[in-house]
Amino acid sequence: MTWGDPDVDRTRHPKAAALALTLWLAFPPAHAQDETSSITFPVEPELFADEPLNACEGIAFNGENRLFMTCNRAFWELSTSGVASRLADLDSNLGVAAIGERDLLVADFGPTNAFREGRNSDGIVYRITPEGVKTAAATGIGDPNFILVLADGSYLVSDDATADIYRVGSDGAVELYSTAVNHPNGLALSLDESVLYVAQIFTNIRPVVLDGSIWAMRLEDGQPLRGARLIANAGPNAGVDGLAMDVDGRLYIAANRAGQLWRYDPADESMTLIAGGMIGIASLAFGRGSFDQHSIYATTTFSGGQGGKIWRIPVGIAGARLYR
């Protein structure tokens, strides 16, 4: 752990982690400086990886700055040269988030899902090692999708088939956290952790009607206050999916059906088109370690026959800290 590293395991070094976070916010390292003034948006995304991948969804760097993702109903590692290695099988492949020093949390719908069979409770969140060893971290969630780890080691899980966002404790206990946003998908915290941003991917699921709404939920002591505020929209039928935050507190939005990456700036509530042409864009991860730290790596689902492509999108700025 270094003082410039915001991705710290707070369960092992709580006091050092708190000091590291304070120093990170006060004196961000040189690589965190904004270079977007030298970039003209929208940019051309670079194809980073393709075969043998298909229907990709989650993507995240672990505590060792290694890149992992879910594709082909499996859990994979992706090298800096774009070579994919299959590590573990899944029933379905959804969101990924780092947890602890090495492991990943991976969301899986389980054998059934609400889009086919109706509401259920057989979804599961796995904890998977970089070697592919998986154990159940949380059960009883219908269709878990996006995962966001919080400062205390607990984590939020969205169920995009419902209006439910759950909070899972470090002991695996699952509790309902919010129902303020219908069909929630991507989640992101503001830099001061006073706001939870939520992407609404659907208006309805039977039949599927896509949505483009981004909502903001005020938090107090980590708990949501009443209701949510609509702050932006990526367009009708955009199918907003994954979210990510940069070190300046700007929100990046994957518009799945539209194939676009957008950036929302809460300072002036503006929306900027960052890149297009990535049909099925799903989850987002800022580069870490040996990967380009001023780029976003993005997965694509099966939409439009382009699923499985992994894109690198230069954005000229580093990602915000992530708890693990």
> Is 241 within 8 Å of 186 (Cβ atoms)?
yes
Residues 34, 68 contacting (CB under 8 angstroms): no
CB atoms within 10 A of CB 49: 24
3-state secondary structure at position 20: helix
Q: What is 33-314's CATH number? A: 2.120.10.30
The sign of the CA dihedral 227, 231, 236, 238 is negative
At residue 116, the pLDDT reads 87
Q: What b-and-e string marks burial along 69-78, b requiring 16 or more CB atoms within 10 Å of the CB?
A: bbbbebbbbb
DSSP state of 305: G
Output DSSP code: residue 173.
-
Question: What residue segments make up the domains of the chain, in order of their start?
Answer: 1-32, 33-314
Residue 254 zone, left/alpha/beta (φ > 0; ψ -120 to 50; rest):
beta
Contacts of 5 (CB under 8 A, 6+ apart): 20, 24
Residue 261 dihedral angles phi and psi, to the nearest 5°: -110, 125
Whole-angstrom CA distances from 305 to 23, 33, 312 are 45, 37, 19
What's at 252, amino acid-wise?
Answer: Y
Cα separations in angstroms, 125 against 94, 96, 215: 10, 9, 24
Q: Give the whole-angstrom CA distance, residue 204 versus residue 213.
A: 13
Of the candidates 140, 324, 96, the residue with the CA atom closest to the CA atom of residue 88:
96
Geometric angle at alpha carbon 308, from 121 and 241, rounded to 5°? 50
- The closest alpha carbon to 46, from 305, 315, 262, 273, belongs to 315
pLDDT the model gives residue 305: 60
Is residue 96 a contact partner of residue 85, using CB atoms and an 8 Å limit?
A: no
Cβ-Cβ contacts under 8 Å for 8 (sequence gap 6 or more): 1, 16, 17, 20, 21, 324
| Measured distance CA(318)–CA(221) in Å, rounded | 27
One pLDDT digit (tens) per residue for the chain, 324 residues: 333 344 545 444 444 444 444 434 443 443 344 576 689 999 999 999 998 999 999 999 999 999 999 999 999 999 999 999 999 999 999 999 999 999 999 999 999 999 888 889 999 999 999 999 999 999 999 999 999 999 999 999 999 999 999 999 989 999 999 999 999 999 999 999 999 999 999 999 999 999 999 999 999 999 999 899 999 999 989 999 999 999 999 999 999 999 999 999 999 999 999 999 999 999 999 999 999 999 999 999 975 566 789 999 999 999 999 999
At 198 the pLDDT is 98
For 263, list phi and psi in degrees, rounded to 5. -125, 130
